[in-house]
């Protein structure tokens, strides 16, 4: 009985940590449920090819739009500034894919029919490999992309309608 109380106490501590961090650091799992038609992504809407890439918002943040498909991410390389709020928005044109920036906790599933959104802030500049981490078919092992984080002042000043990508390297 005492053991049971002790264990409940331990769990209560962990629970409190989860709640507290979510309040203090706004650490949440993805929570916006947006639906989209995976078949018409290239015809209209947010994920047409001319709208993919990094976009500077009016409040100084950057929104990166990526499309996942069998078997590539488009664009395959994106540059983002450090020390800036960055919002990644992804969707899939066909099957389940995964989105992971190695060495970060930017990590989400890309489910066809839904828009996945992850918000983060990169503290340091550097390259992050971006492999697909959910089995999406025979080409899954080749589905790699890249995010390049540059110092804030090296990120190009772009107009609101510009969408930036880097040359893959």
Partner 1 sequence: MPRISRLALAHFWVAFGLFLPAVVLGAWQMLVRSPWSAPLADSNAYYISVSLHGTVMAYVMTTFFVMGFGYTVAATSLARPLRGRAWAWLGFGVCLVGTLIAAAVTLLGHATVLYTFYPPLLANRWYYLGVFLLVGGSMIWVVLMIVNMLGWKRDNPGKPVPLAMFAITATAYLWVWSASGVAAELLGVIGPAVFGATTQIDAGLARTLFSVTLHSIVYFWLMPAYIAFYTLLPAAAGGRLYSERMARLVFIMFLVFSLPVGMHHLFADPEHGDGFKFLQAFFTFFVVLPTLMTVFAICASLEIAGRARGGRGLFGWIRTLPWDEPMVLATGLSLVMLGLGGLGGLVNMSYAMNSMIHNTSWVTAHFHLIFGGAVVIMYFAIAYELWPQLTGRPLRSQRMARWQLWTWFVGMLILTVPWHIAGLLGQPRRVAAFDYAMPVVARWAPWVDVSVVGGAVLLVSALLLVLTLLRSQGGTRSSVIAPLRYALAVHPAARVAPALNGFALWNAMVLVLMLAAYGYPIGQFLFVLKPHSAPAYEVTRPAPQGLSP
Partner 2 sequence: MMAAGKTTWAWRSWASLAAALVLAFVLGFMVVGRNTAGPRLGLWAAICRSIGLKPDTAPTRATAPAVVVPSDIAWTPATLATIASGDVGRGEFVALNCTVCHGAHGRSTSPDVPTLAGMDAPAIYKQLADYRSGKRDWGVMNGIALALSAQGLADVAAYYAAQPGLPFLTGRGNPFAGGSLHSADPAVRLVFAGDPSRGIAPCGSCHGPDGYKLGAPALASQDRTYLVRETAAFAQGSRRNDINEQMRTIAAGLTAAEREALAQFYARAATAD
Q: Which residues bind partner 2 (CB under 8 A)?
A: 19, 22-24, 26, 28, 31-34, 39-44, 46, 48-51, 55-59, 61, 63, 67, 69-76, 85, 87, 89, 93, 117, 119, 131, 137-139, 141-146, 160-163, 168
Helix (H), strand (E) at residue 98 = strand 97-100
Which token pair is 1? 């009985």
Residues 6 or more apart in contact with residue 59 via CB below 8 angstroms:
none
Choice from 21, 60, 123, 151 touching partner 1 (CB under 8 A):
21
Note if the bond before 71 is cis, omega within 30 degrees.
yes
Nearest Cα neighbor of 145 from 161, 129, 162 is: 129
Is residue 164 part of the contact set for partner 1 (CB under 8 A)? no
For partner 1, the binding residues in 32-51 under the rule CB under 8 A are: 32-39
| In the complex, least distance from residue 154 CB atom to partner 2, rounded to whole angstroms | 21
Which is it for the CA torsion 143, 90, 67, 105, positive or negative?
negative
Percent of the chain that is helix, strand, coil (3-state, to 5): 20, 35, 45
For partner 1, the binding residues in 86-125 under the rule CB under 8 A are: 92, 94-96, 98, 100, 102-103, 105-117
Answer yes or no: are the C-beta atoms of 83 and 60 closer than 8 Å: no
Q: Is 72 in the site for partner 1 (CB under 8 A)?
A: no
Contact call for residue 168 and partner 1 (CB under 8 A): no
Residues interacting with partner 1, by CB under 8 A?
3-4, 7-8, 10-11, 14-15, 17-18, 21-22, 27-39, 70, 92, 94-96, 98, 100, 102-103, 105-117, 129, 131-141
């Amino acid at each position: 009985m005492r053991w049971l109380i002790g264990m409940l106490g331990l769990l209560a501590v962990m629970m409190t940590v989860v709640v507290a961090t979510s309040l203090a650091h706004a650490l949440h799992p993805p929570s916006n449920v947006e639906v989209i038609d995976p078949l018409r992504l290239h015809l209209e809407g947010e994920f047409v090819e001319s709208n993919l890439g990094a976009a500077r918002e009016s409040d100084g943040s950057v929104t990166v739009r990526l499309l996942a498909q069998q078997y590539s991410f488009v664009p395959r390389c994106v540059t983002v500034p450090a020390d800036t709020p960055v919002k990644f928005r992804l969707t899939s044109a066909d099957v389940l894919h995964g989105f992971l920036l190695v060495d970060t906790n930017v990590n989400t599933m890309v489910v066809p029919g839904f828009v996945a959104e992850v918000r983060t802030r990169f503290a340091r500049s550097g390259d992050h490999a971006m492999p697909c981490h959910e089995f999406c078919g025979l080409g899954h092992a080749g589905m790699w992309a890249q995010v390049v984080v540059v110092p804030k002042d090296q990120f190009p000043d772009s107009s609101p309608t510009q969408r930036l990508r880097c040359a893959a390297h």
